Structure 1
Amino acid sequence: MSKLITKLSAGAFALMLALPAQAQDQLAVDSVVATVNGTEITLGHMLMVRASLPEQYQSLPDDVLWDGILDQIVQQTVLSQQSEGEESRRIALAMENERRALTAAEVIEDIVGETVTDETVEAFYEENFVQSEPTEEFNASHILVETQEDAVAIVDELDNGADFAEVAREKSTGPSGPNGGQLGWFGPGMMVPEFQAAVETLEVGEISAPVQTQFGWHVIILNEKRNQEAPALETVRGEIENQLSQLAVSERISTLTESATITRTVKEDIDTSVLSNIDLLEE
């Protein structure tokens, strides 16, 4: 049912967008803009459709959208008036779910609006970025070979003055070999544990003993290391706002759920395959 209505609505809307726009006066939300067999259509109905349009329609001029939206609602109203008797169970249940979801969404907006402010964002930034310990990052290169014996031989070769990048290009089996074994910058936890631990013990310019990982045997050189300073607030504002929003909503839901009287049917007492029996909606 819902898919059919969506397709009809989208089709009607697309067909009517090309119609000429009509002039209109400034209206209130409850102002009646049309009637269909006595059923009133208000500006509020149009505004709700306007707010939920797909992104590709959002930038269209209002005078174009006016006719398209109004004609869509008129057509939906004409069609809905053909239904005889009470609304179907499918529609009633869908409306209950939609009303519940929309109401919950409004509450979430209020929670976020109360919680995510310039002050809370700046405080989070100060605590988690400015005052936190700077992250140490490493720039390393490696040579990957299959056996420990090959790795030991490479260490000896490097100790005798061989160029690390040249040896990597010649002998490394890893994808970084053609690039002289360079891995670029990485922070804690970005490499497999054995490799990461070995890198963190090296001094700049030092070559490691052979290191075994799941990929084979590595000979590593630490090229550089640095402390990653705190990023500018504006570059992480969106990330901070998301974290604050999720935390605030999660905490409020937990509080409300704990204080609510909730009963659940014991799942083990139910044949959960009933959830796939959509035909029950027709009974």
Structure 2
Amino acid sequence: MKNLALVILCLLFLAGCNQTKNDNAVVTFDGGSLTLEDLKAHQAIMKKSSRFNKDPDRITPEFVYEHAVNMEMIIAKALKEKLHQDPRIRAEIHEFMSDLFLKVMQDHLVPQLDRDSLTEEEVRAYFDANIASYIPPTQYGVRVIENPDKNVLKTVRERILAGEESFETAAQELSTHNSTREDGGYAGKRAITSYRPDWRAAIENLEINSISEPVRIKNDWYLFQVTDKTSFEAPDFEEKKAYVRNDLLYSKYREAWEQVYTQLKSEHKLKVDEHKLQHFLNPEDGHDHKHG
């Protein structure tokens, strides 16, 4: 649950936006009312708040009433000044409202799934269909030499390939890559996705102990050497079965929620202005649109 102030703000925002006459109203004001049920709900929220853990006796009916009315007055003032139309404020309010409503409706929208109801056959089929995700990625051991001069790297590459110098020695003497230079250019051993994005293409296609041509990356040039690769076999199903069962359960929840959102978009007649959407998705291709 987010902080109490935001909880109260959103609940009272909804109450303050209710302009329908209510015979159970304790107070009325321009633009809304505060009912007995509102006060009871407000009191229940305050009792759950850690803010009052050390002083629960403070939450008297009088205190709840004063606090609720004061909040309503702040909201009434903000609505009058149209702060609720500010996109930044609307985003904050709507984010909380969607989280709150989701907690209330989620079991109705997507009923709880029983993990133990998944059959052995279903779990095994999911494992077979997604086996690549259970195999650890190949680990690459990499050495690197960085230098601003391409010709220096071309020369040192030729010397290394001719056996006149080792990659490690060349890195210690010539590399400007400070974090690896003293270790002979050794950058570690890890999955390709753990290396810098602009290194990956040069590393991934190298054979073990081969040396790349000088590669231009930003303002410098690089030589790469893959010292070793470790690949992994597919794990045994029995070893991973508990994890696979959880993954299958989450997959079923994802599918169920995708269906719910598709249904809600249809139910509420969602329409998209593709032209304006593209301006948001690809702002570099056009100008932002301002909406009234």
TM range (shorter): 0.5 to 0.7
Q: Could you list the per-position Cα deviations for residues 230-278 of structure 1 after superposition, in whole angstroms to 9, with x for gaps in the alignment?
A: 796888999988776555434311222113345899xx9xx9675xxxx
Question: For the residues of structure 2 that align with 1:210 and 1:83, how far apart are their CA atoms?
Answer: 66
Aligned-pair distance for 1:181? 1.3
CA contact (8 A) 2:148 2:220 kept: yes
Question: For the residues of structure 1 that align with 2:76 and 2:38, how far apart are their CA atoms?
Answer: 22
Question: For the residues of structure 1 that align with 2:199 and 2:70, how far apart are their CA atoms?
Answer: 70
Q: Which of residues 192, 196, 201 is equivalent to 1:197? A: 201
Question: For the residues of structure 2 that align with 1:180 and 1:257, how far apart are their CA atoms?
Answer: 58
**Shift in alpha-carbon separation, 1:77–1:137, aligned structure 2, 3 A:** same
Equivalent residue number for residue 267 of structure 2: 259
Aligned counterparts, 1:1-283, within 5 A: 6=5, 48-49=45-46, 51=48, 53=49, 65=53, 68=56, 71=59, 74-80=62-68, 88=76, 102-108=100-106, 110-111=108-109, 114=112, 117=115, 119=118, 126=127, 130-132=131-133, 134=135, 135-158=137-160, 159-175=162-178, 176-188=180-192, 191=195, 195-228=199-232, 248-261=256-269
**Shift in alpha-carbon separation, 1:191–1:82, aligned structure 2, 3 A:** closer
Aligned-pair distance for 1:81? 6.3
Aligned-pair distance for 1:164? 1.9
Q: With the length of structure 1 as denominator, give the TM-score of the two structures.
A: 0.54
Secondary structure of 2:216's aligned partner: strand
Secondary structure of 1:114's aligned partner: coil
Secondary structure of 2:261's aligned partner: helix
* Unmatched tracts of structure 1, length 5 or more: 10-38, 58-63, 275-283
Aligned-pair distance for 1:143? 0.7
Question: For the residues of structure 2 that align with 1:192 and 1:154, how far apart are their CA atoms?
Answer: 23
Aligned-pair distance for 1:104? 3.5
Question: For the residues of structure 1 that align with 2:157 and 2:264, how far apart are their CA atoms?
Answer: 62
**Shift in alpha-carbon separation, 1:103–1:217, aligned structure 2, 3 A:** closer
CA contact (8 A) 1:204 1:224 kept: yes
Aligned length: 227
CA contact (8 A) 1:141 1:183 kept: yes
CA contact (8 A) 2:141 2:190 kept: yes
Secondary structure of 2:188's aligned partner: strand
Q: Could you list the per-position Cα deviations for residues 100-125 of structure 1 after superposition, in whole angstroms to 9, with x for gaps in the alignment?
A: 76333322355565358464996797
Q: With the length of structure 2 as denominator, give the TM-score of the two structures.
A: 0.53
Return the letter of the residue paired with 2:184.
G
Q: Could you list the per-position Cα deviations for residues 28-83 of structure 1 after superposition, in whole angstroms to 9, with x for gaps in the alignment?
A: xxxxxxxxxxx6999987654455x35xx6xxxxxx83852762665122454689
**Shift in alpha-carbon separation, 1:73–1:272, aligned structure 2, 3 A:** farther
Secondary structure of 2:257's aligned partner: helix
Question: For the residues of structure 2 that align with 1:185 and 1:218, how far apart are their CA atoms?
Answer: 18
Secondary structure of 1:108's aligned partner: helix
Q: Could you list the per-position Cα deviations for residues 122-180 of structure 1 after superposition, in whole angstroms to 9, with x for gaps in the alignment?
A: 67972575355843231111111122211111113323342322221221112322332
**Shift in alpha-carbon separation, 1:83–1:180, aligned structure 2, 3 A:** closer
CA contact (8 A) 1:194 1:211 kept: no
CA contact (8 A) 1:166 1:180 kept: yes
Return the letter of the residue paired with 1:166.
T
CA contact (8 A) 1:204 1:223 kept: yes
Question: For the residues of structure 1 that align with 2:112 and 2:47, how far apart are their CA atoms?
Answer: 26
Question: For the residues of structure 1 that align with 2:243 and 2:141, how far apart are their CA atoms?
Answer: 23
CA contact (8 A) 2:123 2:244 kept: no
Secondary structure of 1:143's aligned partner: strand
